Structure 1
Amino acid sequence: MLCFWGAQVREGFELVKPDQVKHGKYGIRSVCPKSNVQDMSAGRSFAGFIRDGKVSVLRLCSEDGDHDGKLKQLQLKNKIRLIVCGEAGAVLLAYGGKVLIMDKSTVCRPLKSLENRQVIQIACGDHHSMALTNDGQVFVWGENSHGQLGLRKDHPGSPSAQHVQSLSGIPLAQISAGGDHSFVLSLSGVVFGWGRNSAGQLGLGDTTDRHVPTMVNSLNRKKTVSISCGGEHTATLSKGGTVFTFGSGGSGQLGHNSFRDEHHPRVVAELWGSEVSQVTCGRHHTLISITSSKLIYSFGCGTQGQLGNGKIINKSVPFPVDLPTECNHEYMIEKLIAGENHSFALFFKESGNESKPNPSRGILTLDDRMIGRWLAGNEPWKVVKKDINKVFSSAASLNGSFLKRSRDDHYQTSEEHCGLDFDLVKTSFAKLSKNESLISEVVKVVQQTLLPSLNPNPVGVEALSVYLLLPELIRHLQEQQRTELTEALAFKILQLNPAAHKELEMYWSKLPGDWLKGLVKLFKKTSANLIGRFASDSMNWDLIARLLKFVRILQMVYQVCCSANRNITKSDFIIHEINDLLDVLETANEDINIYRQLFLLTGQFQAVMAQQNYYNTILNNLISLPCIFNLEAKCSLMKNRTRKGCFLLTLRRTTLLEDSFSQLRTATQQQLTEYWLSVFYTEDMRRTDVNKRDFFHNVFKELCAPESQLLMYNDNETMSWFPTMLSVEKEKYFLFGILCGLAFNNNSVVHLPFPLALFKKLLNVKPSLEDLTEFSPVVGKSLQYILNFSDDVEQMYMNYTIVWNGEEVELDPAEPGKMVTNSNREDFVDKYVDYTMNKSVEEVFEEFKRGFFKACDKCMVEMFEPEELRGVLVGNEEYDWDILKQNTTYEGSFNAEHPTIISFWEVFDELTSNEKKAFLLFLTGFEKVPILGMSAVKMRVRPPFIFTQDHLPEALTCHALLDLPVYQNKETLKAKLIEAINHKRGFWEE
């Protein structure tokens, strides 16, 4: 049964004889044609009806008083499923998905640009139309005067269907077209609008037109299930029956008991609590239905009776439509249609669905029944391949296949919640992987069609779900397939725009633990395979670009894990094969240095240098992606960097600071970063590596001494920090920074008694309360006590005024004397830490940092974590002397059983702890153990070429080489060794 009301029309639309039209109250009429009406639509110029797949149209009277035309059946070859009428024509959808266009003279023609597409939904505005295909693609055609096509601002419009690429990947549930605006709705209830926005009909809070699909953020998580566009207003329906309206309200069509426009979606309060099942918008009025009570409400323009309530006026609140009695007993409301000046309600009988029109179809998605059919093998392979192609070639279909619908979780989809059912994904792909033919066909479609189609500029986060799904699919593949598909996926991830990158990283941060580890393992394993090839294969420059894709993804995931504090260790990212590559490079460098003349004579020099350049290129590219390097590899990389030569400092031992500062002021960044430091002392007239270590040892002792007044010290004077009040020239901090950078650049361990905060700040990591506690345990523990304070009192009897380095400071200058309370104590502690570690030293630290990075490669520094950077510069205090003994080698006439060696170790064991540390300084030039531990100290012991019993032991620090004379007895050896380490400090002539 079809009910209709509003402007006068030809009696019963000629669907039945005039005497068969039933007239109810307030101009409401109903007809029951012999051929059931399956679908209908009414626009400004036409009303169209579908019966038995055949279309009849009737021209409606115009505003200038023309009479209605006669009902005309269109002679079409196709059986029609849906019709939507616009301003002057209509769009028809045939069974099988073919689209036809009807112009104002009722001539129909197929839309050829969609011939090879299976369309499932159509929508028609005043001057534009839309179509949704079964693989989730949106196509538009018509005018683009206000951006209603969603293509771009300068697009002139098109008579042929154009793909809205920005919506690719979003699993859509519905499309809707208004006067000059358009909307789509995703399966997760996310709403996108574009086009004309003169009255706020896009719900974006303004009246600016949009030329590309734009998310209506205020409707997020509202569980939107349908949407309808009117002339200049829009309505949405949420699961549970809540109605939101926005846009033009001049005729009351928003239902808010006012005639104002609304720029944001607003709940229709009069309907609150009613379980609304349908909402549809006409030109200036709105209809809603409540299936459970079989009621229809209307509001908006009623000047031609289109509200069906007996009032020929506009109404701004919902009023019930007085339906015929039989509607309440025999029929159920199936569909509401609101036209220009007309309203329609299509009913079907409760006893049977004979008159029920075909429901709107959704996009194709993968489900368990489909997989079951494929695995059963009962369908022809040709059919199975076709199905696989349909699902796996479309990101929208794939993304819509695994939504977590239990407890409506998919309606929570946002930047922080992907809405996927990970268990369903895992079980589905596991089933597919059991059949080799199936999984091979899936891989083929994904690689050849899906991945190339992915949009690098998606408008919604739902389009990013495919990047979470594919790693699980790839996990089930054989190695070659896995590598190829992983590389293609990495390429598409790296193509994403910055905003999409950020959103994907947020999704990664929320992944279940096993999925996150699986993602890391996938890219790590592929990277390791390629790195292994570098170490064994001949030069292949293409491998470098391929490797970088994988490692960049690993670095992205690593940074996500660090920021989100995920339970995944740094070791999960380390690729140990990189050490083999470094060994190859080190060997190549050594060979070049040793056999340079031979290579030149044999004509092999160019080839060897090319190979070295190849390895250096690989490593230089990987330096900015440090997550794959273990600490040993990072240190090896620093040690084996190629240098252009030496940067010379000529110094007097008595004026180290003055002389070094004078020469560092004029040094160029290239000299400091690309050359090894060489130190020349005027007193001994020799240039040796011993001098360099002696220089660093002495200059940092002098810089960091309390007498220098360069730093402030904590209470027990064991740790330093930058001062808040300067007592020396600011330039000295810049030069101090250069010296620290030089030490790093020259692999030298120095005396730098700073808390971890310094190294965090150099790496742009925010210092924490733990860092302040390391410098000042008393202050740190007091602040921690405030955070842990559990008594239920609001006032903490202290304020934001603190004393730091003898200076009284207001932590909140905008509110002097502000009190610390239970509710703001975290803010107080954060401000305390920020002031002491950042604000109070900002000017001085920036000078230090500027100097530091003038003297060393920033990319090399950023390879290290803060703890590692401190270890590289300062060393550690894990003095494992047994390891030193185990790693010692002997040369010349010495061996482990030589009497002098036995006596040496007996003497060494008898030394005090401080004497042993003094011996380490004597041997290596460093007071502390290198970051890699005592195992990195490879001591060599040999007898001197010429010596007497008066000679002291001598050390060549750059090689940890000990020249140990053969003394007559143990007592002499002990006396001479102690004299050497205490008096001479071990810096001998080379």
Structure 2
Amino acid sequence: MLCYWGAQVREGFGLSQPDKVKHGKCGVRSVCSKSAVQDMSAGKSFVGFIRDGQVSVLRLRGENCDQDGKLKQLQLKKDKIRSIVCGGAGAVLLVYGGRVLIMDKSIVCRPLKGLENRQVIQIACGDQHSMALTKDGQLFVWGDNTHGQLGLEKEQPSSLTAQPVKSLCGIPLAQISAGGDHSFVLSLSGVVFGWGKNSAGQLGLGDTTDRHVPTVVNSLNRNKTVSISCGGEHTATLSKGGTVFTFGSGGFGQLGHNSFEDEHHPRVVAELCGSKVSQVTCRRRHTLVLVESSKLIYSFGCGMQGQLGNGEMIKQSMPFPVDLSTECDHAYMIEKLIAGENHSFSLFTKKLGNESKPNPSRILTLDDRMIDRWVSGSDSWKVIKKDINKVFSSAASLNGSFLKTSCDEHYQMSEEHCGLDFDLVKASFAKLSNNERLISEVVRVVQQTLLPDLNPNPAGVEALRLYLLLPELIRGLQEQQRTELTKAMASKILDLNPAARKVLVLFVFLCYMHLVFSEMYWSTLPDDMLKNLVDLFQKESAMLIGRISVVQMDWDIATHLPKYVQILQMVYQVCRSAHRDITKSDFIIHEVNGLLDVLQTINEDVNDMWQWFTLTGQIQALVAQQNYYNTILKNLISLPCIFNLEAKCSYMKNRAWKGCFQLILRRTALLEDCFSQLRTASKQHLRGYWLAVRYTEDLRKTDVNKRDFFLNVFKELCAPESQLLRENDNKTLSWFPTKLSVEKEKYFLFGILCGLAFNNNSVVNLPFPLALFKKLLNVKPCLEDLIEFSKVLGKSLRYILDYSDDVREMGPLFTITWDGTEVELDPAEPGKVVTNYNRTEFVDKYVDYILNKSVEEVFEEFKRGFFNACDRCLVEMFEPEELRGVLVGNEEYDWDILKKNTTYEGSFYAEHPTIISFWEVFDELTPNEKKAFLLFITGFEKVPILGMSAVKMRVRTRFDFTQDHLPEALTCHALLDLPVYQNKETLRAKVIEAINHKRGFWEE
């Protein structure tokens, strides 16, 4: 049965005899035709009906015609029509099977070009443009594009053939709708996109600017939107709970807000609150809604021709019920509301059982039942293969699969929640992986069709679900399949535009964690799936690095390896920022150490060949290999998560040098001469150059040890007399002063010296807290760093944070005194009191002032100098703790390891009497004397970051000696020249005298 009301029309539309039409109250009429109306639509010029798959259309009276035409059946040969939508001038028809026909003003139908071999499931029609959604989730548009209503970019002209909206590729769409000159689509997880004309705010974006590409209506996010409908210049949406939002033109009351004003943002129709609306539909200037539970239809907007069904010819700005005949309430249920130009319709069907029917208007998605059919073989292989191709070639289909429907969680999809049911994902892909024939076909389709067509500029985060699904699929593959798909997926991840990659990896998630890349979706993965993602790329990277170390040069490997490692680095940032249970060791690839060993061997062979003038051809081959390995490592050092500390230090030690940077100094004016020469040195002469130091007192000596130079120059720099730094209360650590006592330039030169020490693998006396090394790596210092520098102050601030009593005002003010200066931490509110509610802000600002703001100018000079002398990419290989260890060393003295790693030369051997006596004397030294011996033999007071095992001491027999000679040390080689003394007592006395007077150093 069909009910209708509105402008005068041919009685019954010709669906039945005029005397069979029932007249109800307020102009509502009902008609029952012999053949039930399955679907219908009304536009500006036509109204169309589908009965038994056949279409009949009736031309409506208009400006040039004062009466309706006759109902005519379209000649469509054998085509059976499933759906019809009427627009401004014609109509669009959807054939069972998915073909699309378009009907013009002369009611002639023809196939639409551009949709050949496409299975369409939904159609929509506006005034001058139309839309079609295919089974695999692609949106096609055609018609006028004056206002950007096609979504094909601003420069694109109107089109008579169907064009794909590429920006929406990968978005799993649930519904499409076309208005006068604007368009809307709705995703499966309730995300609303709008574009086109926006003169009245009908896009709901808060302005009146037209949009030429699909744009997310952010204010509707997480509202569980399940339906959209476009009118002439207004739009309505329906949420799952039955809430109606309207926006756009309100000049006829069509928004239902009890006003005739436009709305630029979605606004709830308050009068309908409490009524669980089940349908909403708009047309030119009026809106209809259905409350199915009470079988009530409400209308609002323009009723000047009776289209509101209230018996009055008025504009109505609030929802009022349509007075339907009582017969409709018992035998029938309302199936569909249709709003026409000047008419309204309600399509009724007889009540049926509660059986659920498959939704032919839903895009194809992968589900457990489909996989079970494939696995069981209930369908033929031809059918299965066809289904696999449909699902796995469509990013939209996969992105719409495995949604977490419990508690409507997938509607909460955002940059923090992906809305996937990961248990279902794992179980489903495990079934596929157990069937070799199925998984091989899936891999073929993914590799050949899906991945090459992925959109690098997705319109919304919903399109990124695919990158969470594929790693779980890849994980269950055999090695060769896994390698190929991993390679392809890594390339596609890196092809994503920066904003999409940022969402995928976690950058915004840091804001969500109140820390500030991520980079986000991966942060929502369960730990086991995130670990699988790490394992996938870690194993593939390790395999490639292993192959590099043992096979000939393969530039294909050199190209793909950095992509894998870049993905690992992204995931590492996720895990570190989100405090996940996945540790740094899960990312380390130990095969890198082997790669470095190979490179070191090649470097040594190249040097030997040049030294001995070996055949030129051999040298060229080795140099080519050397360049190959250096290229690979250069691409990897910016992705340091795969390097363990030993590999980082090995790379630093064995990297290629550009040449030598030389300082010629006076011993009596060490710092003065050093600064003078560094002032004129450009960074091109510092970065990548090893340092050589010579002294004017003995220019013949070219092999002066730079460790000795750094030891002495840093003693002068960090001494209180230099006035460069301020010490903490117990004089164990230093920090930059807030008030300068020396020229600012000296901090720049100080930074250069620190950079040179880093560049030359020299451990120096740099008594700074961890905060300095964090700042060099752009890591924000925290309260723990302040506690390290100033325990009393830091613990006071910790006490404020941990105070548990409910005290409204805690006493202190945001006014502090530091380094003799009174400072307002919140200049916008002088005298602000610290309370329970703002104490975290107070502590954060306090820490930020001391470690950042108060020393900003000085630190920036130091940092500029530091990176003038060393490559940033080398520094950023290290974590802050590691960087401090590289520059400063540690105090984990293990003297047994030193003894174990010592080698002997000349006439010495482990059981030589002098060596036995030496170690007995060494064991009897005090702890401070042992540290002095380490300084004497190596040139540094602390243990290198890799521990005492990195100190390879050599003891050599000194023959040209008398019993008065002291032991001497060549610190750059940790070489001890030890005379053969007559007895142990003499040996003890000479060793102690040597280390106390630092004999063997340059000041000798």
Superposition TM-score, scaled by structure 2 size:
0.97
Q: CA deviation at 1:689?
A: 4.8
Q: CA deviation at 1:323?
A: 0.4
Contact 1:26 1:309 in 2 (8 A): yes
Residue type matched to 2:439 in 1?
A: I
CA displacement, residues 572-614 of structure 1 (integer Å, 9 cap, x when unaligned): 1111101101001111111111221445445322111111111
Q: CA deviation at 1:688?
A: 4.7
Confirm whether residue 97 of structure 1 aligns to residue 98 of structure 2. Answer: yes
Confirm whether residue 770 of structure 1 aligns to residue 771 of structure 2. Answer: no
Q: CA deviation at 1:674?
A: 2.5
Query: Where does residue 181 of structure 2 map in the other structure?
Result: 180
Find the aligned partners of 2:368 and 2:718 in 1 and give their Cα distance: 70
Quick one: structure 1 residues 69 and 207, their matched pair in 2 at CA, closer, same or farther if it must change by over 3 Å? Answer: same
Contact 1:690 1:958 in 2 (8 A): no
Find the aligned partners of 1:610 and 1:826 in 2 and give their Cα distance: 57
Q: CA deviation at 1:927?
A: 0.5
Query: Where does residue 445 of structure 1 map in the other structure?
Result: 445
Secondary structure class of the residue paired with 1:306: coil
Find the aligned partners of 1:526 and 1:947 in 2 and give their Cα distance: 59
Find the aligned partners of 2:246 and 2:357 in 1 and give their Cα distance: 27
Find the aligned partners of 1:65 and 1:604 in 2 and give their Cα distance: 94
Find the aligned partners of 1:52 and 1:871 in 2 and give their Cα distance: 82
Secondary structure class of the residue paired with 2:629: helix
CA displacement, residues 142-165 of structure 1 (integer Å, 9 cap, x when unaligned): 010000000100111110000011
Query: Where does residue 978 of structure 2 map in the other structure?
Result: 964
Contact 2:609 2:619 in 1 (8 A): no
Contact 2:755 2:868 in 1 (8 A): yes
Residue 967 (structure 2) aligned to one of 943, 953, 959: 953
Confirm whether residue 233 of structure 1 aligns to residue 234 of structure 2. Answer: yes
Secondary structure class of the residue paired with 1:174: strand
Q: CA deviation at 1:625?
A: 1.1
Query: Where does residue 348 of structure 2 map in the other structure?
Result: 347
Residue 841 (structure 1) aligned to one of 850, 855, 862: 855
Instruction: Describe how 1:545-944 pairs up with structure 2 within 5 A.
Output: 545-598=559-612, 600-601=614-615, 603-944=617-958
CA displacement, residues 364-396 of structure 1 (integer Å, 9 cap, x when unaligned): 111111111111123211110000011111111
Secondary structure class of the residue paired with 1:904: helix
Contact 2:58 2:69 in 1 (8 A): yes
Instruction: Describe how 1:44-55 pairs up with structure 2 within 5 A.
Output: 44-55=44-55
Find the aligned partners of 2:559 and 2:603 in 1 and give their Cα distance: 24
Confirm whether residue 156 of structure 1 aligns to residue 157 of structure 2. Answer: yes
Contact 1:921 1:985 in 2 (8 A): no
Contact 1:365 1:397 in 2 (8 A): yes
Find the aligned partners of 2:877 and 2:418 in 1 and give their Cα distance: 32
Q: CA deviation at 1:462?
A: 0.4
CA displacement, residues 490-516 of structure 1 (integer Å, 9 cap, x when unaligned): 111001111101111111122211111
Find the aligned partners of 2:72 and 2:614 in 1 and give their Cα distance: 94
CA displacement, residues 259-303 of structure 1 (integer Å, 9 cap, x when unaligned): 000001001001001011100001100001111111111000000
Quick one: structure 1 residues 951 and 891, their matched pair in 2 at CA, closer, same or farther if it must change by over 3 Å? Answer: same
Q: CA deviation at 1:985?
A: 4.1
Residue type matched to 1:875 in 2?
A: G
Residue type matched to 1:72 in 2?
A: K
Quick one: structure 1 residues 988 and 955, their matched pair in 2 at CA, closer, same or farther if it must change by over 3 Å? Answer: farther
Quick one: structure 1 residues 961 and 976, their matched pair in 2 at CA, closer, same or farther if it must change by over 3 Å? Answer: same
Q: CA deviation at 1:961?
A: 1.0
Instruction: Describe how 1:74-153 pairs up with structure 2 within 5 A.
Output: 74-77=74-77, 78-153=79-154
Q: CA deviation at 1:853?
A: 0.5
Contact 2:692 2:704 in 1 (8 A): no
Contact 1:170 1:396 in 2 (8 A): yes
Query: Where does residue 415 of structure 1 map in the other structure?
Result: 415
Find the aligned partners of 1:656 and 1:357 in 2 and give their Cα distance: 89
Query: Where does residue 290 of structure 1 map in the other structure?
Result: 291
Q: CA deviation at 1:984?
A: 3.1
CA displacement, residues 21-56 of structure 1 (integer Å, 9 cap, x when unaligned): 111111111111010000000000000000000000
Secondary structure class of the residue paired with 2:687: helix
Query: Where does residue 496 of structure 2 map in the other structure?
Result: 496
Contact 2:123 2:132 in 1 (8 A): yes
Find the aligned partners of 2:999 and 2:98 in 1 and give their Cα distance: 90
Find the aligned partners of 1:881 and 1:697 in 2 and give their Cα distance: 22
Secondary structure class of the residue paired with 1:754: coil
Query: Where does residue 57 of structure 2 map in the other structure?
Result: 57
Find the aligned partners of 1:820 and 1:668 in 2 and give their Cα distance: 49
Find the aligned partners of 2:959 and 2:553 in 1 and give their Cα distance: 46
Find the aligned partners of 2:524 and 2:930 in 1 and give their Cα distance: 50
Query: Where does residue 370 of structure 2 map in the other structure?
Result: 370
Quick one: structure 1 residues 328 and 135, their matched pair in 2 at CA, closer, same or farther if it must change by over 3 Å? Answer: same
Quick one: structure 1 residues 357 and 694, their matched pair in 2 at CA, closer, same or farther if it must change by over 3 Å? Answer: closer
Structure 2: where are the runs of 5+ without partners?
506-519
Find the aligned partners of 2:357 and 2:640 in 1 and give their Cα distance: 61
Find the aligned partners of 2:731 and 2:611 in 1 and give their Cα distance: 55
Q: CA deviation at 1:357?
A: 12
Contact 1:678 1:687 in 2 (8 A): no
Stretch moving more, 704-713 or 806-815: 806-815
Contact 1:918 1:981 in 2 (8 A): yes
Contact 1:921 1:986 in 2 (8 A): no
Query: Where does residue 525 of structure 2 map in the other structure?
Result: 511
Find the aligned partners of 2:731 and 2:999 in 1 and give their Cα distance: 25
CA displacement, residues 895-935 of structure 1 (integer Å, 9 cap, x when unaligned): 21111111111100100011000000010000100000000
Query: Where does residue 191 of structure 2 map in the other structure?
Result: 190
Query: Where does residue 472 of structure 1 map in the other structure?
Result: 472
Confirm whether residue 266 of structure 1 aligns to residue 267 of structure 2. Answer: yes
Find the aligned partners of 1:306 and 1:91 in 2 and give their Cα distance: 24
Find the aligned partners of 1:241 and 1:614 in 2 and give their Cα distance: 64
Contact 2:148 2:210 in 1 (8 A): yes
Contact 1:253 1:301 in 2 (8 A): yes
Confirm whether residue 20 of structure 1 aligns to residue 20 of structure 2. Answer: yes
Secondary structure class of the residue paired with 2:887: helix
CA displacement, residues 668-723 of structure 1 (integer Å, 9 cap, x when unaligned): 21221132110001223344554311110000001001111110010111100000
Contact 1:50 1:56 in 2 (8 A): yes
Contact 1:690 1:956 in 2 (8 A): no
Query: Where does residue 515 of structure 2 map in the other structure?
Result: none
Query: Where does residue 509 of structure 2 map in the other structure?
Result: none
RMSD: 1.5
Contact 2:129 2:141 in 1 (8 A): yes
Find the aligned partners of 1:319 and 1:108 in 2 and give their Cα distance: 39
Contact 2:337 2:347 in 1 (8 A): yes
Residue type matched to 2:492 in 1?
A: K
Find the aligned partners of 1:44 and 1:411 in 2 and give their Cα distance: 36
Find the aligned partners of 2:983 and 2:948 in 1 and give their Cα distance: 29
Q: CA deviation at 1:963?
A: 1.1
Secondary structure class of the residue paired with 1:943: strand
Find the aligned partners of 1:402 and 1:704 in 2 and give their Cα distance: 62
Superposition TM-score, scaled by structure 1 size:
0.99
Q: CA deviation at 1:185?
A: 0.5
Query: Where does residue 9 of structure 1 map in the other structure?
Result: 9
Contact 1:11 1:21 in 2 (8 A): yes
Contact 1:599 1:605 in 2 (8 A): no
Secondary structure class of the residue paired with 1:519: helix
Query: Where does residue 328 of structure 2 map in the other structure?
Result: 327
